[in-house]
């Protein structure tokens, strides 16, 4: 479970901002809270803000950090890091690394993991574990290649240090070399948190799972019916064939030479609709997923991740959850995460949105709502929670937000600016 995520000097975030999933002071909506490891955490966080205020950049920060951790072992000497852009509108920040920090619980142990990097190398990195109330340092990295280890583990970690490079994260390298004390922290990033900027990029493996997982199929069909999308059945077929050799060599030349031509999967998805003709005869019509509405496709892609989250403790981070979805459906998804009977594994949902219909204190606690706002003079984004304001439990926060009480709304200029002088 995620406790906090912080980012500094990345895209529009010039200064450090922190998204906290830790419970605030309010005592409302106790079902929205997870109590574990001596900390009370929130199941859902919703992030509001005007266009270009930094909402999506926060999701991009999550995405970059997680993918870099997962794929760090694939970096070769001299390889540039994945796209990483510091804050561009300041001379000092342009030449400084971006910083990321996660505070989380994995396998019932609390960890704090942080690193800083630019496009060429990692500058700092550290991992602390809370086996007791006090943190135990697993390793600390400074100046790119200077390491500090606990005395008892020094000889073991020194041998792993020699296998790391300046463009790799030591967390990934140590785990790859079977160091047990980094394993649970690393696997949390691999297995327990996912980000989605677009559901169009869902892997084919997830879609193929529909063909051999009857429970997933039933979950999806029931969910679509719950949302008044009457689809009787779905069929998934796929075939594997060799990738074109020339394309394989262009994409992954080393792999192609080492293991032969890679295989690719062609996945075909058909949704079955039950219709009634003028003579009251019932018959089925199959439609390819590509012919369905964008909202239906998004729900179809989202369903596996919802099911896995409700069965296994995960963190789901989504940019623009309401995209092509009816506001009532978005509200229903939020309610599923807050409902302990549905969300039995206490998974967490973090999402950006413009859906003001969700802004009510029956659905959310005050500490579950966050805002991003960009300073028009510095172009720097800020992130702050609703409970940083004096908000009553019975306050109409939708009205307050629309009226600009909490900031984070667009400033609409006078339309006369667009009219030509006569």
The per-residue DSSP string of 250-264 comes to HH-HHHHHHH-SPEE
The pair of structure tokens assigned to 50 is 């005007």
* pLDDT value at 394 more than 80: yes
pLDDT at 65: 94
> For 293, how many CA atoms within 13 A lie in the half-sphere containing its CB?
11
Task: Please state which architecture CATH assigns to domain 1-192+313-410.
Answer: 3-Layer(aba) Sandwich (3.40)
> What is the reported pTM?
0.87
21-30, 82-91, 115-124, 363-372, range with the lowest pLDDT: 82-91
pLDDT at 18: 98
**Mean predicted confidence (pLDDT) in 92-108:** 94
**Mean predicted confidence (pLDDT) in 237-255:** 52
pLDDT at 253: 43
Residue 239's CB is within 10 A of a number of other CB atoms, namely 9
* pLDDT value at 200 more than 50: yes
Please write the tens of the pLDDT for every residue from 257-315. 444 545 545 677 888 888 888 888 888 888 887 888 888 888 888 888 898 899 999 99
Confidence of residue 233 (pLDDT cuts 50, 70, 90): confident
Distance CA 33, CA 31 (A): 5
Report percent pLDDT > 70 for the chain. 87
Residues forming beta bridges with residue 372, ordered by sequence position: 49, 383
Confidence of residue 244 (pLDDT cuts 50, 70, 90): low
pLDDT at 255: 41
Strand order in the sheet with 263-276: 233-242, 263-276, 282-288
More confident residue, 209 or 178: 178
Distance CA 68, CA 64 (A): 6
Q: Are 334 and 325 in contact (CB under 8 A)?
A: no
**Mean predicted confidence (pLDDT) in 328-337:** 91
Instruction: Name the nearest CA neighbour of 175 among 98, 123, 111.
Output: 111
Please write the tens of the pLDDT for every residue from 122-152. 999 999 999 999 999 999 999 999 999 999 9
Q: What is the DSSP letter of 351?
A: E
Confidence of residue 199 (pLDDT cuts 50, 70, 90): low
More confident residue, 278 or 416: 278
**Mean predicted confidence (pLDDT) in 368-395:** 92
pLDDT at 407: 87
Distance CA 176, CA 72 (A): 10
Instruction: Name the nearest CA neighbour of 233 among 180, 292, 274.
Output: 274
The pair of structure tokens assigned to 160 is 């792993």
* pLDDT value at 247 more than 80: no
Residues of the chain with CATH 3.40.50: 1-192+313-410
Confidence of residue 256 (pLDDT cuts 50, 70, 90): very low
63-67, 148-152, 323-327, range with the lowest pLDDT: 323-327
- Residue 2: C-alpha distances to residues 47, 128, 314, 316 (Å): 16, 15, 9, 10
Confidence of residue 252 (pLDDT cuts 50, 70, 90): very low
The pair of structure tokens assigned to 304 is 């596996």
Considering the chain, what is the average pLDDT of its residues?
Answer: 86
The pair of structure tokens assigned to 64 is 């970059």
Confidence of residue 412 (pLDDT cuts 50, 70, 90): low
pLDDT at 21: 97
pLDDT at 257: 44
pLDDT at 245: 54
The pair of structure tokens assigned to 13 is 């975030």
175-189, 296-310, 361-375, range with the lowest pLDDT: 296-310
* pLDDT value at 248 more than 50: no
């Amino acid at each position: 479970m995620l406790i906090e995520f912080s980012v500094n000097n990345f895209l529009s975030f010039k200064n450090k901002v922190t998204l906290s999933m830790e419970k605030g002071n309010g005592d409302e909506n106790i079902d929205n809270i997870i109590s574990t490891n001596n900390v009370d955490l929130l199941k859902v966080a919703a992030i509001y803000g005007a266009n270009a205020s930094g909402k999506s950049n926060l999701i991009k920060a999550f995405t970059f950090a997680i993918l870099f951790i997962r794929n760090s072992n694939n970096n070769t000497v001299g390889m540039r890091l994945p796209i990483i852009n510091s804050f561009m509108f300041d001379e000092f920040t342009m030449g400084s690394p971006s910083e990321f920090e996660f505070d989380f619980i994995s396998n019932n142990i609390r960890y704090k993991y942080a690193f800083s990097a630019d496009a060429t190398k990692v500058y700092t990195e550290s991992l602390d574990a809370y086996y007791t109330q006090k943190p135990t340092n697993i390793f600390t990295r400074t100046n790119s290649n200077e390491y500090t280890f606990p005395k008892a583990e020094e000889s073991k970690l020194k041998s792993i240090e020699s296998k790391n490079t300046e463009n790799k994260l030591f967390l990934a390298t140590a785990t790859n070399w079977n160091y047990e004390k980094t394993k649970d922290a690393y696997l949390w990033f691999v297995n327990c948190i996912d980000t989605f900027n677009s559901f169009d990029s869902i892997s084919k493996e997830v879609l193929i799972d529909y063909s051999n997982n009857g429970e997933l199929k039933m979950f999806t069909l029931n969910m679509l019916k719950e949302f008044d999308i009457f689809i009787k059945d779905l069929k998934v077929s796929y075939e594997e064939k060799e990738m074109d050799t020339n394309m394989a060599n262009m994409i992954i030349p080393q792999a192609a030479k080492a293991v032969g031509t890679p295989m690719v999967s062609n996945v075909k998805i058909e949704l079955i609709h039950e219709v009634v003709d003028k003579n009251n005869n019932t018959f089925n019509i199959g439609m390819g997923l590509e012919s369905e509405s964008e909202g239906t496709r998004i729900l179809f892609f989202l369903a596996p991740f919802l099911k896995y989250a409700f069965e296994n403790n995960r963190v789901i981070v989504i940019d623009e959850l309401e995209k092509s979805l009816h506001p009532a459906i978005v509200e229903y998804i939020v309610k599923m995460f807050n409902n302990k009977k549905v969300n039995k594994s206490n998974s967490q949902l973090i999402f950006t949105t413009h859906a003001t219909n969700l802004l009510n204190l029956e659905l959310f606690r005050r500490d579950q709502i966050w805002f991003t706002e960009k300073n028009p003079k510095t172009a720097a984004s800020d992130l702050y929670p609703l409970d940083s304001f004096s908000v009553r439990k019975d306050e109409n926060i939708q009205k307050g937000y629309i009226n600009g009480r909490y900031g984070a709304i667009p400033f609409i200029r006078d339309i006369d600016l667009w009219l030509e002088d006569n």
